[in-house]
Amino acid sequence: MLLSDRLKSILRGPVPLSAASPAVTDMGRPRIAAGSGKNEILRTRASRGLEQFVGSLRELSGLAILDLGGANQENVNFITSLGHKFYSEDFLRIFQEIFAGDRADQSNPSRIEYFLGQVLDYPDEQFDGVMAWDLLEYMEPALLSAAIDRLARILKPKGYLLAFFHSDDHMDTVPCYSFRIEDPRNLQVCEYGNRAPSQLFNNRRLEKLFQKFESVKFFLTRECLREVIVRK
């Protein structure tokens, strides 16, 4: 392992945070194809997917929850306030660093394995829940399939995955979002530009994507997002 990779592994390592931990800087996500230089547009809206996900955590404590959107203070505070362990990965930043917009490279088995080793290098069945937000939608089919398999592997039986997908399969561009948990039923949605979608998914394609999981539920939002809650 290269020294830089070793340092990255140490620094990003799965360090559970408690509610009393020092403030975590909201590193945010890169402004992909924003072009206009505009600031983030922030709004709050209800989220049925989040409500279902949080509901699965309510009666338990000490669960391990992975946030693939990077660590922001709102999400850290919320998850740890429920008595759970918070882990985070800056999934999108690493995705962009490794693939740099090269779609063909996302079919390269060695590159796929390297990427998954950087962002999802965890023991089998470590997590009770994973918040993937809209990040799975950035990937080409081969990489996405491998990522779903890895997520299924690191989730515990009966664990939940929360993911968002744009529902209009005729869109040429889709907004870039980041998500902050305000309370058990509401999300702060940050919009910061647009990008060309790698894939768009209808219900049938999503059911096929998660066919190895026990159940899949969909909730349609006013942003034309399908909120998907998946149970292993």
Domains in the chain, CATH or no CATH each: 40-231 (3.40.50.150)
SS3 labels along 154-195: HEEEEEEEEEEEECCCCCCCEEEEEEEEEECCEEEEEEEEEE
**DSSP designation for 72:** -
- 175 band by pLDDT with thresholds 50, 70 and 90: confident
This prediction's pTM: 0.81
pLDDT in tens, 26-41: 333 333 333 334 457 7
% the chain with pLDDT above 90: 58
> Taking all residues of the chain, what is their mean pLDDT, rounded to a whole number?
83
Residue 229 — pLDDT band, cuts 50, 70, 90?
very high
pLDDT score recorded for residue 39: 58
How far, CA to CA in Å, does 54 sit from each of 50, 143, 212, 224? 6, 28, 22, 22
- Return the pLDDT at 169: 66
CA separation for the pair 79, 67 (Å, rounded): 10
More confident residue, 217 or 25: 217
Phi, psi (degrees; rounded to nearest 5) at 114: -65, -45
Identity of the highest mean pLDDT range in 10-14, 22-26, 64-68, 218-222: 64-68
**Residue carrying the six token digits 């939940």:** 160
Residue 18 reports pLDDT greater than 50: no
pLDDT digits (tens, 9 = 90+) for 60-115: 899 999 999 998 999 999 999 999 999 999 999 999 999 987 888 999 999 999 99
- Residue 143, pLDDT above cutoff 70: yes
Task: Report which of 187, 223, 224 is spatially closest to residue 53, judged by C-alpha positions.
Answer: 187
